[in-house]
Amino acid sequence: MTPSAQSITFGVLGTAEIARTAVIPGIRASNHTVEAVASRDGERARAFAEAESIPRSYGSYVDLLSDEAIDAVYVPLPNGLHAEWTTRAADAGLDVLCEKPLAVDAAEARAVLDHCRDQGVTLMEGYMYRYHPRTERVLALAAEELADVRTVTSTFRFPLYDRPGDVRLRPDLAGGSLMDVGCYPVSLARAVLGDPDRVYAHSNDTRDAGVDTELAGVLEYEDGRSARVASGFDTQLVQQYRIDARNGWIAVEQAFDAPDDEPVSIEYEIDGRHGVETFDPVDQYRLEVEHFADCVATDGSPRTDGEAAIATMRVLDALSDSAAEGCAVDVE
């Protein structure tokens, strides 16, 4: 493990856009370094490294894992490759920050977590919105001031323009809107309400791609509470949620992929008191990386750890099964 006073040296497995635009800047802003990047295409890795001023590039993920100067890896590979390369990084003794979702299903997520524990490495799933001060404030308000929260309604949709071979439209790589962006509303619903007992979902494949491009689902709880979640690739961008309770509500826009260059806000009405709270611009990816580094240094458990990943995947599995079967499904 890396002492808290020292910088973590990261390697990046893959050249995904999120690495270039969000996580690598977040790593650098938090006083850590990116020393290597790998791709299965050596030329792509070299071009990426040159463009992002990364010292070393590799045409093989295995070669990067053998780089003795690397302390940890960030894994932004397609969903279907997360489990394999997280476990192989753990075998190399490297701590892992893996993009969501951690695995293709809950059973695979459990195997990944158990493997990382056996290897003694820190594992964190990259739900960056959980590290934004606004999210922390919302969850505190919901827990401390809302009485008897009954429903959560959450949506994340965006226009996915047709691009040949887009991994989000490939069933062999665990694509689909539920896995790509629907996991955020599910994560938020779990953070507020806990784990549901059963779900019902309906999906469409408007691209004839073999994955859902639209999904709407209901999470049901034995005590009558519920959450409604939706995801999709076929509308303009919408990312929002609302929490409703007996004594009020909280509403959030720009909910998950919050901008880092402009203020964001929450609106609420609790016990007849209307409020709007504004939060200064912040890089939630930087905060995510800093939390990861703190957990590495202290051998702590991340807020979005492997157990949370498994619990969210159980709900995603059930939603997918329900959409396929056309009936309500119990959450295992």
Decide if 291 is inside a domain: no
**Tens digit of each residue's pLDDT (9 = 90 or more) over 203-233:** 999 999 999 999 999 999 999 999 999 999 9
Residues 251, 324, single domain; the answer is yes
**Tens digit of each residue's pLDDT (9 = 90 or more) over 255-298:** 999 999 999 999 999 999 999 999 999 999 999 999 999 999 99
Residues 267, 225, single domain; the answer is yes
Residues 124, 137, single domain; the answer is no
Q: Average of pLDDT values for 193-207?
A: 98
Residues 52, 164, single domain; the answer is no
Q: Give the closest residue to 140 by CA, choosing from 254, 256, 270, 230.
A: 270
Question: What pLDDT is attached to residue 70?
Answer: 98
- Is residue 278 within 8 A of residue 179, CB to CB? The reply is no
Distance CA 287, CA 126 (A): 11
Judged against a pLDDT cut of 70, whether residue 2 lies above it is answered with no
Judged against a pLDDT cut of 80, whether residue 139 lies above it is answered with yes
- Structural domain including 96 reads 9-128
% of the chain exceeding 70 in pLDDT? 98
Decide if 303 is inside a domain: no
Residues 161, 194, single domain; the answer is yes
Decide if 299 is inside a domain: no
Question: What pLDDT is attached to residue 165?
Answer: 81
DSSP-derived 3-state class of residue 36: strand
**Tens digit of each residue's pLDDT (9 = 90 or more) over 177-194:** 999 999 999 999 999 999
Decide if 300 is inside a domain: no
pLDDT bin (cut points 50, 70, 90) of residue 6 is confident
Distance CA 87, CA 77 (A): 13
Judged against a pLDDT cut of 70, whether residue 1 lies above it is answered with no
Distance CA 157, CA 231 (A): 5
Residues 117, 165, single domain; the answer is no
**Tens digit of each residue's pLDDT (9 = 90 or more) over 34-79:** 999 999 999 999 999 999 999 999 999 999 999 999 999 999 999 9
Q: Mean pLDDT for the chain?
A: 97
DSSP-derived 3-state class of residue 117: helix
Minimum mean pLDDT range among 2-6, 188-192, 301-305, 325-329:
2-6
Beta-carbon-side half-sphere exposure of residue 174 (alpha carbons within 13 Å): 23
Q: How many domains are there within the chain?
A: 2
Phi then psi for residue 247, to 5 deg, are -110, 15
- Is residue 224 within 8 A of residue 239, CB to CB? The reply is no
Known catalytic residue at 100: yes
SS (H, E, C) 206-237: CCCCCCCCEEEEEEECCCCCEEEEEEECCCCC
CATH no. for residue 29? Answer: 3.40.50.720
Residues 165, 263, single domain; the answer is yes
Q: How many CB atoms lie within 10 A of CB 268?
A: 22
Tokens of 133: 């001060």
Question: What pLDDT is attached to residue 4?
Answer: 44
Catalytic entry in 32, 100, 134, 314: 100
Residues 259, 140, single domain; the answer is yes
Helix axes 133-144, 183-193, angle to 10 degrees: 40
Judged against a pLDDT cut of 90, whether residue 18 lies above it is answered with yes
Domain boundary among 63, 96, 128: 128
Residue 27 CA, distance from chain mean position: 17
Tokens of 281: 């611009």
pLDDT bin (cut points 50, 70, 90) of residue 163 is confident
Q: In what order do the strands lie in the sheet with 226-232?
A: 273-279, 264-270, 248-253, 238-245, 149-157, 226-232, 214-220, 198-204, 329-330
DSSP 8-state class, residue 178: I
Residues 154, 253, single domain; the answer is yes
182: left (phi over 0), alpha (psi -120 to 50) or beta: alpha
Tokens of 10: 């990261």
**Tens digit of each residue's pLDDT (9 = 90 or more) over 69-108:** 999 999 999 999 999 999 999 999 999 999 999 999 999 9
Distance CA 25, CA 232 (A): 27
Q: Average of pLDDT values for 4-32?
A: 93
Does this model's pTM top 0.85? Answer: yes
Residues 57, 77, single domain; the answer is yes
If you count them, how many residues does the chain have? Answer: 332
